[in-house]
Chains A and B, each alone.
Chain A
């Protein structure tokens, strides 16, 4: 686990070493088993990330292996983060030290939860992902640079093209991924929307 500060403000790049989690459909129950949801604060979740997978593998899980301690970029495959909507999952990853994810695809709620925490989730084609994972596996200490604006990942020697929608990209680059203030600022538009929804007025006669 790292002590890097949590994301704040505009996020244009993430650099660091990687941790590879091979396999499709890694669901949020695996990322953080339900029993750890019994908490009123997210603080302790980093140590509990992948708790069951880790105890099953008795120290051989990527999150336990010494070469991945301090990693900040998670490399995964298809449909990462499927299942339960629990934000505890990205919170656990973030508190373990993850600051960006590259995967072939993501479950939607998970993607949104990560964005709301300032954790960029970039996509990679299958062959690209395999190439990145191979490079990372070959040399676990290798430092990678993820460029949000260019949507690419490089290790100093090679660069791989990634995918990131223009919306999330802009939100990360501008710092607006932390959008609560933005939502509140539109107070008059909120009022106007509320006023045209008949159920909010108990379907009163016009």
Chain B
């Protein structure tokens, strides 16, 4: 990435020492630093530090700037990859699906025409956009990150303000490196205690969404904090922030700390040499201080969380693996129409234990849970066991780097021996824009993030969201299984 032209007389210490940085939440500080102007209409023009693009939401945006006679203002702050439409069985070009091929060709042409780096297939750096930007060190604390994809909230794990945008906004960022935005309020999600063995970040965030609902975050950024959050690895923090959007929060973040810095150190685009210490000092100054004031707060205890599974058609319709599908009486009155719709769509009666529910397809992957530690957790369950007869189980690494690291550890062989298919990186059956999809009413155990009706490629297909280890356990037993039983066996 090119150096930015620095204005003469600029001193880094000015921004570190300014009073704006000494108090308030990380969200406030990052917002203030990136404010460009107040716009007529009351919104704020916000500078975008990192713009990530992919093949699905960018083509119409490039057409948009072309129609307006504009170029890309900061191609060096824009990074592209291809993820949603790539086949995961063979990535040979041209793709069998001509529409998918056309989308990739369009992205390639747009990137080369505008001087944008594209981490394409076989580059060693391709993968799901929310997996590759962190692992390349592109995502850093204190940045504003935008991408035409709602799970951009993932990047908040680094203490960045990261949010999904629509295609018109992609056009705006291409043209101006900025966006018209309204400031969010900040809700702190405080998690005390520690996760128990067999309980993962995915369970934690499903539990939070279950308790608060899918609308509680609307209008808010979620700051995830507290001892249980501080104890999480960067990959686990990404899982949590990834799903902030499923709780309605457009962005979620974790304050940067030693875990963040250790993860970033040495990554390709991370500061190096002399700049490293200055970067760490600046990043540290951005964290919400003890005097920060939050607009709202919710408290949880991680030690009480069980492996959590969705039973319905939104991510809040989740229960502990040892619980039963709730009765109407157990749900909020205004949730009841949706609950009844979920019984009908899922074919599940209230009171049914979720453990033991037979599944057809088991999918490990996605920007929620397609990173190395996710594959390791699933492999620990699959090791030395066999996928149950009749179950289709497959593992889709989140990126080429994740795949290479997993292969170096022999995880591909381990999964294959256990009866899983080992695939090429991409979004895959998270939203089934490629050939990986459910058929008819099939039920999947899935480590992805959305269990909406029709999400996984069949209009009547059903999705149970859970952690990658729980997906592996479901594959082994052919039914929803408490992974703790297998881990202790």
Residues of A whose CB lies within 8 Å of any CB of B are 23-25, 27, 29-30, 33-35, 37-42, 52, 55-56, 78-79, 82-88, 90-91, 105, 107-109, 112-113, 116-117, 165-168, 170-171, 174, 176, 179-184, 186, 189-206
Given that A186-B37, A195-B10 are known contacts, is A108 also in contact with B149, CB under 8 Å in the complex? no
Q: Any chain A CB within 8 A of the CB of B259?
A: no
Q: Any chain A CB within 8 A of the CB of B88?
A: no
In the bound assembly, the distance between CA atoms of A42 and B36 in angstroms comes to: 31
Minimum distance in angstroms from B64 CB to a CB of chain A: 8
In the bound assembly, the distance between CA atoms of A112 and B248 in angstroms comes to: 14
Given that A35-B457, A40-B59, A112-B169 are known contacts, is A184 also in contact with B337, CB under 8 Å in the complex? no
Q: Any chain A CB within 8 A of the CB of B263?
A: no
Option from A38, A39, A193, A199 in Cβ contact (under 8 Å) with B143: A199
Q: Any chain A CB within 8 A of the CB of B56?
A: yes
Q: Any chain A CB within 8 A of the CB of B282?
A: yes
Minimum distance in angstroms from B430 CB to a CB of chain A: 9
In the bound assembly, the distance between CA atoms of A38 and B321 in angstroms comes to: 36
Given that A193-B34, A197-B33 are known contacts, is A87 also in contact with B57, CB under 8 Å in the complex? yes
Q: What are 12 A-B pairs with beta-carbon distances under 8 A?
A: A25-B314, A29-B450, A30-B453, A33-B454, A35-B432, A37-B56, A38-B100, A55-B459, A79-B214, A79-B215, A176-B41, A189-B36
Minimum distance in angstroms from A30 CB to a CB of chain B: 7
Residues in B with CB closer than 8 Å to A168 are 41
B49 engages A199 (CB within 8 Å): yes
Option from B15, B41, B149, B459 in Cβ contact (under 8 Å) with A33: B459
Name which residue of chain A comes closest to B102, CB basis. Answer: A40
Binds A, one of B172-180, B230-238, B289-297, B348-356: B172-180
Residues in B with CB closer than 8 Å to A37 are 56, 84, 433
A52 engages B452 (CB within 8 Å): no
Q: How many residues of B contact A (CB 8 A)?
A: 91
Q: Any chain A CB within 8 A of the CB of B334?
A: yes
B182 engages A167 (CB within 8 Å): yes
Minimum distance in angstroms from B206 CB to a CB of chain A: 16
Given that A24-B337, A39-B99, A176-B41 are known contacts, is A56 also in contact with B459, CB under 8 Å in the complex? yes
Minimum distance in angstroms from A84 CB to a CB of chain B: 5
* 10 closest Cβ pairs, A-B complex: A167-B42, A113-B166, A200-B4, A87-B166, A116-B168, A87-B167, A206-B11, A203-B275, A85-B150, A85-B164
Residues in B with CB closer than 8 Å to A189 are 36-37, 45
Q: Any chain A CB within 8 A of the CB of B106?
A: yes
Name which residue of chain A comes closest to B314, CB basis. Answer: A25
If over half of A's interface residues share one DSSP class (helix, strand or loop), that class is named, otherwise mixed; here it is helix
In the bound assembly, the distance between CA atoms of A82 and B213 in angstroms comes to: 13
In B420-450, which residues have CB < 8 Å from any A CB? Answer: 431-433, 450
In the bound assembly, the distance between CA atoms of A186 and B452 in angstroms comes to: 41
Minimum distance in angstroms from A116 CB to a CB of chain B: 4
Minimum distance in angstroms from A204 CB to a CB of chain B: 6
A194 engages B455 (CB within 8 Å): no
Residues of B whose CB lies within 8 Å of any CB of A are 1, 3-4, 6-7, 10-15, 33-37, 39-43, 45, 47, 49, 56-57, 59-60, 63-64, 68, 70, 73, 77, 84-85, 97, 99-100, 102-103, 106, 140, 142-143, 148-150, 164-169, 171-172, 175-180, 182, 214-215, 218-219, 248, 250, 271, 274-276, 278-279, 282, 314, 334, 337-338, 341, 431-433, 450, 452-455, 457, 459
In the bound assembly, the distance between CA atoms of A78 and B10 in angstroms comes to: 48
Minimum distance in angstroms from B260 CB to a CB of chain A: 14
B41 engages A171 (CB within 8 Å): yes
B42 engages A193 (CB within 8 Å): no
Name which residue of chain A comes closest to B167, CB basis. Answer: A87
Minimum distance in angstroms from A148 CB to a CB of chain B: 13
B433 engages A186 (CB within 8 Å): no
Name which residue of chain B comes closest to A171, CB basis. Answer: B41
A195 engages B6 (CB within 8 Å): yes
B39 engages A179 (CB within 8 Å): yes
**B35, B60, B99, B140 pick with most chain A CB within 10 angstroms:** B60
In the bound assembly, the distance between CA atoms of A186 and B46 in angstroms comes to: 11
Name which residue of chain A comes closest to B274, CB basis. Answer: A205
A40 engages B171 (CB within 8 Å): no
Residues in A with CB closer than 8 Å to B432 are 34-35
Residues in A with CB closer than 8 Å to B172 are 179-180, 183
Residues in A with CB closer than 8 Å to B169 are 112-113, 116
B215 engages A85 (CB within 8 Å): no
Name which residue of chain B comes closest to A114, CB basis. Answer: B166
Minimum distance in angstroms from A34 CB to a CB of chain B: 5
B103 engages A40 (CB within 8 Å): yes
Name which residue of chain A comes closest to B30, CB basis. Answer: A197
A85 engages B143 (CB within 8 Å): no
A180 engages B68 (CB within 8 Å): yes
A193 engages B36 (CB within 8 Å): yes
In the bound assembly, the distance between CA atoms of A197 and B50 in angstroms comes to: 12
In the bound assembly, the distance between CA atoms of A182 and B168 in angstroms comes to: 14
**A171, A195, A202 pick with most chain B CB within 10 angstroms:** A202
A29 engages B453 (CB within 8 Å): yes
Name which residue of chain A comes closest to B1, CB basis. Answer: A202
A203 engages B282 (CB within 8 Å): yes
In the bound assembly, the distance between CA atoms of A182 and B199 in angstroms comes to: 48
**B64, B454, B457 pick with most chain A CB within 10 angstroms:** B454
A202 engages B176 (CB within 8 Å): no
A30 engages B454 (CB within 8 Å): yes
